[in-house]
A and B are shown apart, each in its own frame.
Chain A
Amino acid sequence: MKNSKNDYYNPPFSHVYVEREVREHPRTRRILERLPGATVIETEHYKDVFNRKKQNSILQSRARSLIIGAKHGNLIYKGAPVCQSFGNENFYYTSCVMNCIFDCEYCYLKGMYPSGNMVVFVNLEDIFREVEGLLAKGPLYLCISYDTDLLAMEWLTGYVEEWIRFVEEINSKEQNFQRQIENRLTIEIRTKAAGSRLMQEHFQAKSPVLGVIYGFTLSPQKVIEACEHKTPALEQRIACVARAVERGFRVRLCFDPMIYFRGWEQWYDEMLEDIFSQVDMEWIEDVSVGSFRISQDYLRKMRRQQPCSAVVQFPFCNTGGVYHYPKELTEKMEGYMVRALKKKIPVEKIFLWEDEEI
């Protein structure tokens, strides 16, 4: 027991709840081996812990527990209207992990989930089977890191590597050469992860796979410091992007969500300057731009839980149940970003969430 302010809370994953059904699953064992100091508690169903009433996800995120379970029912979902499809018709997403190791004040997960704890589903094969079923109807674009940051959890789950192997296997089965190039299955791995370990173990040691796109979310350092807690610094993220591009990985830059603060133009200017000076923009797959927007139900919960967060307490406008910055400000921010990007990247590679393609 410590008395200094920051020491009251347990370290992350000090407690792991494991569904009885998956306690002997090889992935469960692998994860637990990587958490040798954790207290393991058996549970009947992951929802017994994750869906308890009156949880405080903000406090839980300071001492996050891990829940390991199996996912049943629908495993793949149609992409939501507020998400960008990047021109892909068959746009789906899946959640083999729920919740994120990072702690961004504006993250919709804080409004969506009843808990700040993380859930890892170990029955990946069931998800893979459902993907194969959908592939029978045509090419598939699948986001695997929407309700989490899968790459940031790679040290624990190894799921990114498993997904990449699956994509390689699926796409190599295609006999038609043209279709092979087009990829039957394309996955997007959205992330804020960075750092030397990720660079060495992923972007240095591995070879690029055609059906895999890495979507790096980039924010000005001021935004990172103010509200993207526990995430890598901008400098680290840019270095990671630069290395990935250099090694031939397909990289998407996501300026989404753009966050308003006084003096935002200067912060975004500085960020773009750093990116353009270090990343070879010619090889960037595409770019996503979008100012912050969120469902009204999620924002209400987030405001209640984070009364002192400027980013969620912004006086947003509500259109059809979605909160967003005032129209004038939205246009100003997104317009500014698109104009700046157009100087470095072809316009057809720039995607705005509302208009899809400019």
Chain B
Amino acid sequence: MIYIVTAIYAEAQALITYFGLKKDISQGRFQVFGNQEAEICLVISGTGEIAAAVAVADVCRAAGERDFLMNIGICGGIQGEKASLKGSNTFPEEIMDCSERSGEGKAGLCLDGEKGICTKGDIFLCNKIREQATGRTFYPDILYRHGFAEAQIITGGKPYVKEKREEDFFLYDMEAAAVYQAGAYYFGPHQMSFLKVVSDYGDAGKVTPEQVKGLMERNVEKIAEFIVCLRNIGKEDVRTGTFMVQGEVEKLCRDMHCSSTMASTVSQYVRYGMLSGVDIAAVREEMYREGKLPCRDRKEGKLCLEEFKKRLL
């Protein structure tokens, strides 16, 4: 499942339309939109850190290790109009020059060859998030390839005003740090992504919901592509990560009259046997044929287990 948190409806509208999400009327506190087939659950949290944290806690209770949490929405561009990404950094220019970072095999690319210039409507994947009030910094993993520029974001309690320039940061919002902190109760850093679209340079009050909707629509296909990728990655891990030995173990334990310690040994041997290519069923059937299974009692079961172990290794 991909859990998406947006602050306002206008930020979510393009995604709701794109994925055909339906409002979940069983949810009371927040507006929640979902689509079981698309495996998406989108919650509109309201603006600010408290609202974002509560919304995450409200919808992500059932999240598992193959799910993802995304915070998608608008943000302010701290460094001003047409600021360069490298300008927000203190590293040597030759290292930070985004214009050279293009082509296959590279990550953290700047958007569409725009050489790191930030303009309204540009979208960024956040690789560093700082909470302004506490100074705490968070680092979501950037494990997967993506087509976004990357930037650092600071989360504040009030709308951004131009005078308060944060030299080391490029973007400003009011939710990301809270989404990360609340999300950390349910997700690892490899499961959280933060996508932000620049809507203003410190005059957020002038941005209308219609404008927000338009900015998100401009980026919706790119965002959707990333969401689909994350969903596929989650499924891929299901295929490679799950290993069912339960049925095999239960039958053997029953027929060997296993104690819990013996059962755990059987389970480990069966798991190892299956992974190393041993035909467990053949070994088991042979022992039934030879009359060693089922056992009459635990004493006989212990001897049988030793025999089973020998045959598996």
Contact with B91, one of A40, A55, A329 (Cβ below 8 angstroms) = A40
Residues in A neighbouring B9, C-beta threshold 8 A: none
Interface residues of B (CB under 8 A from A): 65, 89-92, 94-96, 100-101, 105-108, 127-128, 137, 139, 141-147, 150, 152, 168, 184, 187-190, 225-226, 229, 232-233, 236-237, 240-243, 265, 268-269, 271-272, 275-278, 309, 313
The answer to whether B309 touches A315 (Cβ under 8 A) is yes
A 265-312 contacts with B by CB, 8 A = 307-310
Q: What are 6 A-B pairs at a CB distance below 8 A? A: A8-B232, A9-B145, A32-B95, A38-B107, A53-B184, A60-B143
Contact with B along A95-137 (1 / 0, CB 8 A): 0000000000000000000000000000000000000000000
The answer to whether A262 touches B276 (Cβ under 8 A) is yes
Contact with B along A6-35 (1 / 0, CB 8 A): 011111001101100001000001001100
Contact with B190, one of A3, A11, A60 (Cβ below 8 angstroms) = A60
Residues in B neighbouring A334, C-beta threshold 8 A: none
The answer to whether B276 touches A3 (Cβ under 8 A) is no
Residues in B neighbouring A49, C-beta threshold 8 A: 139
CA distance A52 to B128 in the complex (A): 13
The answer to whether B105 touches A37 (Cβ under 8 A) is yes
The answer to whether B145 touches A37 (Cβ under 8 A) is no
Contact with A307, one of B127, B233, B241 (Cβ below 8 angstroms) = B241
Contact with B144, one of A9, A37, A309 (Cβ below 8 angstroms) = A9
Residues in B neighbouring A54, C-beta threshold 8 A: 184, 187-189
Contact with A315, one of B96, B105, B142, B268 (Cβ below 8 angstroms) = B268
The answer to whether B265 touches A315 (Cβ under 8 A) is yes
Q: Counting CB contacts under 8 A, is A182 at the interface?
A: no
The answer to whether A313 touches B236 (Cβ under 8 A) is no
Q: Given that A39-B107, A39-B127 are contacting pairs, would A1 and B236 also be in contact in the complex, using a CB cutoff of 8 Å?
A: no
Chain A interface secondary structure, helix, strand, loop or mixed? loop
Task: Name which residue of chain A comes closest to B95, CB basis.
Answer: A32
Residues in A neighbouring B229, C-beta threshold 8 A: 1, 3, 8
The answer to whether A314 touches B272 (Cβ under 8 A) is yes
A311 to chain B, nearest CB (A): 9
Q: Given that A11-B105, A11-B106 are contacting pairs, would A315 and B272 also be in contact in the complex, using a CB cutoff of 8 Å?
A: yes
Interface residues of A (CB under 8 A from B): 1-3, 5, 7-11, 14-15, 17-18, 23, 29, 32-33, 36-44, 48-49, 52-56, 59-60, 62-63, 65, 260-262, 307-310, 313-315, 329
The answer to whether A14 touches B275 (Cβ under 8 A) is no
Residues in B neighbouring A41, C-beta threshold 8 A: 127-128, 139, 152
Residues in A neighbouring B309, C-beta threshold 8 A: 315
Can you list the 5 inter-chain pairs with the closest CB atoms, starting with the nearest?
A: A39-B108, A14-B107, A54-B188, A310-B275, A10-B107
CA distance A37 to B187 in the complex (A): 29
Residues in A neighbouring B268, C-beta threshold 8 A: 313, 315
Residues in A neighbouring B152, C-beta threshold 8 A: 41
Q: A9-B145, A42-B90, A315-B272 are in contact. List 10 more A-B contacts (CB 8 A).
A: A1-B226, A8-B232, A14-B142, A23-B91, A39-B108, A53-B188, A56-B190, A60-B190, A262-B313, A307-B241
Residues in A neighbouring B145, C-beta threshold 8 A: 1-2, 7-10
Contact with A55, one of B105, B188, B237 (Cβ below 8 angstroms) = B188
Task: Name which residue of chain B comes closest to A325, CB basis.
Answer: B313
Most chain B beta-carbon neighbours within 10 Å: one of A29, A52, A55, A260: A52
CA distance A1 to B188 in the complex (A): 22
Task: Name which residue of chain A comes closest to B226, CB basis.
Answer: A1
The answer to whether B137 touches A313 (Cβ under 8 A) is no
CA distance A7 to B108 in the complex (A): 15
